[in-house]
């Protein structure tokens, strides 16, 4: 089991400058891009996942320190550790982890990969039987990552055949200005369709003409070609009218 100093040494050994350069480009860290200023050590996700069981003796404060690190991989590792602890924890421990996670949304938890791989397993899992009003607060946030978290948390509900909130939040985000939100919303609609295509199509028939094209394209990705074309054509016709 690692203590904080040992973990620092392990991460330093795993760091790869070439991978770091690629990651910086992939996660759009340039000026004005969504990941502006983020820094990478160059450690792949499978390597980070292998470290999680060895981090179980770190205090919650140690994990929080990782979550506040300037290095992307440290923050991702911290979020993965929190998922592991949430799954193994008592209700009281899960509540603390949920609160810590939400407090860091948009701060340490500030890129799509961190949110997508961890948010459903903490925020979604905790809110499944609780008060979900926080999701609507996040969906209305000015912060891109908080809005994406509101959408991705619903992935847990979808797996349980619970679609009401994801449909509500998707409708709230129809006019969002960020492509990363359009992709997330379309993705979650597609996941609903895997469970119940009729429910997804009910939503699409109502909103396909006004939703962003990227959102619609992601939503209909698994449809038969002819059906997919019908929805995309409906969107095109609306654009011609406007």
Per cent of the chain over pLDDT 70 is 98
Distance CA 24, CA 63 (A): 23
Q: Considering only CA atoms, which of 42, 47, 45 is closest in space to residue 71?
A: 42
237 confidence band (pLDDT: 50, 70, 90):
confident
Q: What is the pTM of this model?
A: 0.95
* Final residue before a domain boundary, out of 81, 110, 139: 110
Q: Are residues 84 and 149 in the same domain?
A: no
- Report CA-CA distances (Å) from 69 to 6, 31, 133, 138: 16, 20, 29, 23
Tell me, yes or no, whether 116 lies in a domain.
no
The CA-to-CA distance between both ends of the chain, in Å, stands at 61
242 confidence band (pLDDT: 50, 70, 90):
low
Q: Which of helix, strand or coil describes residue 105? A: strand
Domain count, the chain: 2
Q: Are residues 73 and 154 in the same domain?
A: no
* Final residue before a domain boundary, out of 62, 83, 110: 110
Tell me, yes or no, whether 121 lies in a domain.
no
Q: Are residues 93 and 136 in the same domain?
A: no
Q: What is the CATH number of the domain that holds 167?
A: 1.25.10.90
At 46-103, the pLDDT tens digits run 999 999 999 999 999 999 999 999 999 999 999 999 999 999 999 999 999 999 999 9
Q: Are residues 158 and 229 in the same domain?
A: yes
Q: Are residues 156 and 191 in the same domain?
A: yes
Containing domain of residue 57, as a range? 1-110
Tell me, yes or no, whether 47 lies in a domain.
yes
Tell me, yes or no, whether 102 lies in a domain.
yes
H-helix segments, the chain? 4-14, 17-26, 45-51, 60-67, 72-88, 91-103, 112-119, 125-127, 133-139, 144-159, 164-172, 179-195, 197-207, 213-219, 225-241
Q: Report pLDDT for 202.
A: 98
Tell me, yes or no, whether 172 lies in a domain.
yes
Q: Are residues 152 and 53 in the same domain?
A: no
Q: Are residues 62 and 143 in the same domain?
A: no
Q: Are residues 87 and 47 in the same domain?
A: yes
């Amino acid at each position: 089991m690692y203590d904080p100093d040992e973990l620092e040494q392990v991460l330093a050994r795993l760091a790869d400058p070439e991978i770091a350069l690629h990651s910086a480009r992939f996660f759009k860290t340039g000026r004005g891009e969504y990941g502006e200023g983020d820094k990478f050590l160059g450690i792949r996700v499978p390597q980070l996942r292998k470290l999680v069981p060895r981090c179980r003796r770190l205090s919650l404060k140690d994990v929080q320190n990782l979550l506040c690190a300037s290095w992307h991989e440290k923050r991702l590792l911290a979020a993965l550790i929190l998922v592991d602890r949430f799954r193994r924890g008592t209700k009281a421990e899960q509540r603390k982890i949920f609160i810590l996670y939400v407090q860091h949304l948009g701060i340490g938890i500030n890129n799509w990969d961190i949110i997508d791989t961890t948010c459903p397993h903490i925020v979604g899992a905790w809110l499944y039987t609780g008060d979900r009003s926080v999701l609507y607060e996040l969906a209305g946030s000015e912060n891109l990552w908080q809005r994406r978290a509101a959408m991705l948390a619903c992935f847990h509900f979808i797996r349980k055949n619970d679609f009401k909130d994801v449909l509500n939040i998707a409708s709230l985000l129809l006019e969002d200005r960020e492509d990363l939100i359009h992709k997330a919303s379309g993705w979650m609609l597609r996941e609903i369709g895997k469970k119940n295509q009729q429910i997804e199509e009910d939503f699409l028939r109502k909103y396909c003409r006004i939703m962003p094209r990227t959102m619609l394209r992601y939503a209909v990705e698994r449809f038969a070609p002819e059906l997919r074309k019908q929805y995309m054509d409906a969107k095109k016709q609306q654009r011609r009218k406007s």
